Structure 1
Amino acid sequence: MKMYQVDAFTKELFKGNSAAVIILDEWLDDALMQKIALENNLSETAFIKPNSDHIFDICWYTPESEIDFCGHATLASAFILFEHYPALKEFTFRTRAVGDFYITQHADGRIVMDFPIRAPEPLLDYPQALQDALDLPFKAVYINPQAYIVEYEHADQIRSLKPNFEKLKQISIDAEQLYGKSRDIVVTAPSKGQYDCISRYFAPILGVNEDPVTGSIHTAVVPFWAERLNLNELVAYQASNRGGTLYCKILGPDRIEVSGYAKLYMTADIYI
Structure 2
Amino acid sequence: MIVTVVDAFAERPFEGNPAAVCLLDAPAAEDWMRGLAAEMNLSETAFLTPGDDGAFNLRWLTPEVEVDLCGHATLASAHLLYEVGHVGPEETVRFDTRSGRLTVRQSGERTYTMDFPATPPEAADLDGVAEAFGVEPVWTGRSRFDGFVVLESEAAVRGATPDLGAVAGLDARGVILTARADESSPYDVVSRFFAPGAGVPEDPVTGSAHCAIGPHWATELGRDEVSCFQASRRGGHVGVRVVGDRVELTGHAVTVHRAELAPGASP
Q: TM-score range by the shorter chain?
A: over 0.9
Q: Which runs of 5+ in 2 are unaligned?
A: none
2:51 counterpart SS class: strand
Contact 1:9–1:244 under 8 Å retained in 2: yes
Aligned to 2:180: 190
2:102 corresponds in structure 1 to 101
Query: Which residue in the other structure is 2:55 paired with?
Result: 55
Match of 2:218 among 212, 226, 239: 226
Q: Distance in 2 between matches of 1:199 and 1:9?
A: 14
How many angstroms does 1:107 deviate by?
3.2
Decide which of 233, 238, 244 is 1:241's aligned counterpart. 233
Q: Please tell me the residue identity of whatever aligns with 1:267.
A: R
What does 1:38-187 correspond to in 2, within 5 Å? 38-52=38-52, 54-85=54-85, 87-88=88-89, 89-96=91-98, 98-123=99-124, 125-127=125-127, 129-171=128-170, 175=171, 182-187=172-177
CA offset at residue 53 of structure 1? Answer: 5.5
> How far off its partner does 1:82 sit?
0.5
The 8 Å contact of residues 3 and 258 in structure 2, kept in 1 or not, is answered as yes
Helix, strand or coil at the partner of 1:73 = helix
Task: Tell me, yes or no, if the aligned pair for 2:110 and 2:254 is still in contact at 8 Å.
Answer: no
Amino acid at match of 1:157: A
The alignment covers a number of residue pairs equal to 259
Q: Deviations over 1:76-102 (max 9, x none)?
A: 000000012252521211102x11111
Answer whether contact 1:54 1:90 (CA < 8 A) is retained: no
- Distance, in Å, in 2 between the alignment partners of 1:100 and 1:110 is 20
CA–CA distance in 2 between the matches of 1:13 and 1:87?
24
Among 172, 178, 199, the residue aligned to 1:207: 199
Distance 2:105 2:226 in 1: 19
Identity %, equivalent residues:
38
Deviations along 1:182-211, whole A, 9 cap, x unmatched?
431110011133111110000111121100
In 1, Cα distance between the equivalents of 2:95 and 2:111? Answer: 17
Residue 156 of structure 1 and its aligned partner are, at CA, apart by 1.1
Q: TM-score, normalised to structure 1's length?
A: 0.92
Distance in 2, Cα, partners of 1:132 & 1:91: 43
Task: Check the 8 A contact 1:145/1:183 in 2, yes or no.
Answer: no
State how far apart, in whole Å, the 2-side matches of 1:29 and 1:5 are: 21
Distance in structure 2 (CA, Å) of the matches to 1:78 and 1:5:
12
CA distance in 1, matches of 2:158, 2:136: 14
Measured after TM superposition, the shift of residue 30 of structure 1 is: 1.5
Q: For 2:73 and 2:93, how far apart are their aligned partners in 1? A: 16
Q: Give the gaps of 5 or more residues in structure 1.
A: 176-181
Q: What amino acid is aligned across from residue 138 of structure 1 in structure 2?
A: P
